[in-house]
Amino acid sequence: MATKNLSEYNAAKVPDASNMTFAIVVSEWNPEITGALLDGCVSTLEKHGALPENIHVKTVPGSFELIYGARQMTLNDGYDAIIVLGCVIRGETPHFDYICQGVTQGIARLNATNNIPVVFGLLTTENMQQAQDRAGGRLGNKGDECAVVAIKMAKF
């Protein structure tokens, strides 16, 4: 189990994002978590030079819909990278497993078949506390990490 801030990184190794355009597709489900992920993602993109007008945010109802949302964004030639943000918290049914597996496979397929990197920012946690810890809590913010990955992959 992680015990340190997982979002720490060397800012000097992140390329300048001032000429890049990003799409962020964020799930409305678990909004207190996904909102924090979005805030971290946007602020980190801007910290590295991305202009606010070059960060386009779209929402989808749930995490499974992130696949469709990201696919639609790949059809736009103007994006250097697409970031998906969502949160699935385990419940008492196998729904968690199906959603997590489906989104993982869907985003992997998009990365294998398109020319725009799609960054996977889906938290898959056992409980709300773990989600909070990874959405700006004691373990950092997965949104920050996704922004850094998107910048690096756009430059790739």
Rg (CA), the chain: 15
3-state secondary structure (DSSP) of residue 74: helix
Is 95 known to be catalytic? yes
- Find out whether 150 and 83 touch, Cβ atoms under 8 Å: yes
Catalytic position from the list 5, 32, 95, 138: 95
CA-based nearest residue to 26, from 68, 67, 70, 58: 58
Residues belonging to the active site: 95
